[in-house]
Chains A and B, each alone.
Chain A
């Protein structure tokens, strides 16, 4: 027995000390793997000419799954952004839902094929509809949280934006409001150090988004987005704080962007090769997988079981979504206004 194994044998695994069961962490791993594999499928389909456009979040999945984990999937709200694919899956959107959006089919629950892919929304699982201008969702989350507090519903609202989006006035205004009224909202910033091509040092004065929370009178925490368990720990704390009525928390997850901004971008044109390579070492799927292996949970058999499950789900969903009909042209005139129940 090595020293490390001996230590593991006597002290509880890190996830157990956080109150996560073995099943929890394996399920979290499954969602990260699912989101990643789905992401890859989206790109393949786009490159194969089956879809117009992809915008996704490879490298962001770990913090998204971790942050969603403490939430009540039925009761709480998610106000996502275009990289929130993993968060939306945990919240209750299906792989098929996301592929219906990619193919712009009539059944697409986010928009019926009206919006570009990646503009998530789902009334049944309380994911608010998303637009393309960045940062506008932050005040929406504040408003939802205000209504929750006034109506005493106990709902917690989580929203997310990239570090580029934090330059928007709306992001400041939303956090200022939420701080004043101590609202049950969690503000997430997924900082991958690039807003398309503009690097962090030209985006965030002072270098830290989390530091800005001090000015709003609530905690701001910076966490390594590859450390899924630490992301979970800070998210759970933020969630409990919101539930207690103590107000918002700003969580800045330092993540890697393992791909280009979107299918219309080539990051090799503005990022050094070595940097892109180095980012792979901070891939949450890999880092979290290594942890689960180290505690003996992710055996080769388990890994294969999860990979097979993911592959099967994505294949089935791809076929099913692809068979789903396109919207009728005349339907484009509908729902400018309410048309009756």
Chain B
């Protein structure tokens, strides 16, 4: 199995889906000649032409709105938003139109659009190139939300998203693009939207995370093992629909739960996981459910010490796990 970078797996999924089905198109800013600012659509224009690889005007609401129309008329659009921070003008189109299309038409019209966007903080990304947006969309019935945490999942879940008859918000943590590498199955590797996966078995504490936080949690679990702390790490990977079974099963096993998310703590997605555990696994718990999340400030500040203050790094994760494990 070839080892690929996360971004290359995304790119490979595009190429394979473009070859498989001529209804697949991509639209977004700089997705054509440049191949996207992160390179997700590299090589598509030369192979498939301007008809299917569309450099859109710099107008996010219409990237979503035009994609919705394309989907109504037989295409399978992948709408790329250059940064999750810039998707907000499209909120109305995604929430009022895409997510409601099937429901409001009583199943007469679907909306098979993939909304792809890089989210999350990396060094120097500041307030407007770093936002986590999953909670906004996970709150809205009618749209699925996917956050792959490995290159294999990035490929497999993107392929599943393209084939899904409903809208999918596909979030890629930008810090993973070039740092995270992993084995990626060749050929038509499809990962179903829905199931979570236990990435590391453990007995003392369950950690629930996705995206870059998952990757960091795995690193910390490794570090803590020699100290006799056995950490189970669950990759949530599909936020909507949520795989409750895998989460509850893990809590039943470890009796301690830590939910990690980079988004602001208040009303963040992890609060939903914490509520689920509190409601449905209360008697399994030996300690209150804990959340480790981004501080409640309006954005990740730019200057290095300020940024470090915000980021959930391995030291913060390790101390949260130690505190919860009582070790």
Tell me if A336 and B65 are in contact (CB < 8 A). Answer: no
Tell me if A173 and B59 are in contact (CB < 8 A). Answer: yes
Q: A136-B93, A141-B69, A143-B68 are in contact. Are A129 and B52 (CB under 8 A)?
A: no
Tell me if B246 counts as interface (CB < 8 A to partner A).
Answer: no
Tell me if A188 counts as interface (CB < 8 A to partner B).
Answer: no
Q: A173-B59, A338-B165 are in contact. Are A147 and B105 (CB under 8 A)?
A: no
Could you say which residues of chain A place their CB within 8 Å of the CB of B73? Answer: 77, 143-144, 147-148, 151, 153, 155
Tell me if A146 counts as interface (CB < 8 A to partner B).
Answer: yes
Tell me if B75 counts as interface (CB < 8 A to partner A).
Answer: yes
Could you say which residues of chain A place their CB within 8 Å of the CB of B110? Answer: 338
CB distance from B208 to the nearest CB of A (A): 23
CB distance from B110 to the nearest CB of A (A): 6
Tell me if A337 and B97 are in contact (CB < 8 A). Answer: no
Q: A128-B72, A337-B102 are in contact. Are A139 and B107 (CB under 8 A)?
A: no
Tell me if A114 counts as interface (CB < 8 A to partner B).
Answer: yes
- The complex places the Cα of A144 from the Cα of B96 at a distance, in Å, of 18
Tell me if B72 and A140 are in contact (CB < 8 A). Answer: yes
Tell me if A131 and B104 are in contact (CB < 8 A). Answer: yes
Could you say which residues of chain A place their CB within 8 Å of the CB of B67? Answer: 143
Tell me if A335 and B107 are in contact (CB < 8 A). Answer: yes
Which residue from chain B places its CB closest to the CB of A121 in the assembled complex?
A: B105
Instruction: State which residues 86-112 of B face A: CB under 8 Å.
Output: 89, 92-93, 96-97, 100-110
Q: A121-B105, A334-B107, A337-B166 are in contact. Are A177 and B62 (CB under 8 A)?
A: yes
Instruction: State which residues 299-325 of A face B: CB under 8 Å.
Output: none
- The complex places the Cα of A132 from the Cα of B70 at a distance, in Å, of 20
Could you say which residues of chain B place their CB within 8 Å of the CB of A147? Answer: 69-70, 72-75
* Interface flags, B143-185, vs A, CB<8A=1, else 0: 0100000000000000000000110000000000000000000
* Interface flags, A267-280, vs B, CB<8A=1, else 0: 00000000000000
From B62, B96, B97, B105, give the contact of A174 (CB < 8 A). Answer: B62
CB distance from A105 to the nearest CB of B (A): 11
Instruction: State which residues 70-105 of A face B: CB under 8 Å.
Output: 77, 79
Could you say which residues of chain B place their CB within 8 Å of the CB of A338? Answer: 102, 110, 165-166
Tell me if A129 and B69 are in contact (CB < 8 A). Answer: no
Tell me if B62 and A111 are in contact (CB < 8 A). Answer: no
Which residue from chain B places its CB closest to the CB of A147 in the assembled complex?
A: B73
Tell me if A143 and B105 are in contact (CB < 8 A). Answer: no
Tell me if B71 and A129 are in contact (CB < 8 A). Answer: no
- The complex places the Cα of A294 from the Cα of B121 at a distance, in Å, of 72
Could you say which residues of chain A place their CB within 8 Å of the CB of B101? Answer: 129
Could you say which residues of chain B place their CB within 8 Å of the CB of A169? Answer: 59, 61, 89
Tell me if B252 counts as interface (CB < 8 A to partner A).
Answer: no
Q: A131-B104, A147-B74, A335-B102 are in contact. Are A142 and B57 (CB under 8 A)?
A: no
CB distance from B30 to the nearest CB of A (A): 15
Tell me if A109 counts as interface (CB < 8 A to partner B).
Answer: yes
CB distance from B67 to the nearest CB of A (A): 6
Q: A131-B96, A144-B73, A146-B70 are in contact. Are A173 and B62 (CB under 8 A)?
A: yes
Which residue from chain B places its CB closest to the CB of A108 in the assembled complex?
A: B106
* Interface flags, B45-76, vs A, CB<8A=1, else 0: 00000011010110101101111111111110
Could you say which residues of chain B place their CB within 8 Å of the CB of A114? Answer: 103-104, 106
Tell me if A288 counts as interface (CB < 8 A to partner B).
Answer: no
Tell me if A339 and B107 are in contact (CB < 8 A). Answer: yes
- The complex places the Cα of A336 from the Cα of B141 at a distance, in Å, of 7
Tell me if B108 and A176 are in contact (CB < 8 A). Answer: no
Could you say which residues of chain A place their CB within 8 Å of the CB of B69? Answer: 79, 128, 139-147
Q: A140-B65, A147-B75, A150-B51 are in contact. Are A110 and B105 (CB under 8 A)?
A: yes
Tell me if A219 counts as interface (CB < 8 A to partner B).
Answer: no
Tell me if A224 counts as interface (CB < 8 A to partner B).
Answer: no
- The complex places the Cα of A276 from the Cα of B96 at a distance, in Å, of 34
Tell me if A230 counts as interface (CB < 8 A to partner B).
Answer: no
Tell me if A240 counts as interface (CB < 8 A to partner B).
Answer: no
Tell me if B97 and A143 are in contact (CB < 8 A). Answer: no
Tell me if A19 counts as interface (CB < 8 A to partner B).
Answer: no
- The complex places the Cα of A339 from the Cα of B57 at a distance, in Å, of 35
Tell me if A44 counts as interface (CB < 8 A to partner B).
Answer: no
* Interface flags, A117-142, vs B, CB<8A=1, else 0: 00101110000110111001011111
Tell me if A154 counts as interface (CB < 8 A to partner B).
Answer: no
Tell me if B142 and A336 are in contact (CB < 8 A). Answer: yes
CB distance from A186 to the nearest CB of B (A): 14
Could you say which residues of chain B place their CB within 8 Å of the CB of A145? Answer: 69
Tell me if B109 and A176 are in contact (CB < 8 A). Answer: no
- The complex places the Cα of A115 from the Cα of B101 at a distance, in Å, of 11
Tell me if A170 counts as interface (CB < 8 A to partner B).
Answer: yes
Tell me if B66 and A129 are in contact (CB < 8 A). Answer: no
Tell me if A129 and B57 are in contact (CB < 8 A). Answer: no
Which residue from chain B places its CB closest to the CB of A155 in the assembled complex?
A: B73
CB distance from A157 to the nearest CB of B (A): 8
Tell me if B93 and A123 are in contact (CB < 8 A). Answer: no
- The complex places the Cα of A190 from the Cα of B2 at a distance, in Å, of 58
Instruction: State which residues 201-222 of A face B: CB under 8 Å.
Output: none
Tell me if A129 and B70 are in contact (CB < 8 A). Answer: no
- The complex places the Cα of A146 from the Cα of B102 at a distance, in Å, of 21
Tell me if A112 counts as interface (CB < 8 A to partner B).
Answer: yes
Q: Which 5 A-B residue pairs are closest in the complex by CB-CB distance?
A: A143-B69, A139-B65, A112-B106, A173-B62, A147-B73
Besides A150-B51, A173-B59, 14 more A-B contacts (Cβ < 8 Å) are: A112-B106, A119-B104, A139-B62, A140-B72, A143-B71, A143-B72, A147-B72, A147-B73, A170-B65, A173-B57, A177-B66, A337-B142, A337-B166, A338-B110
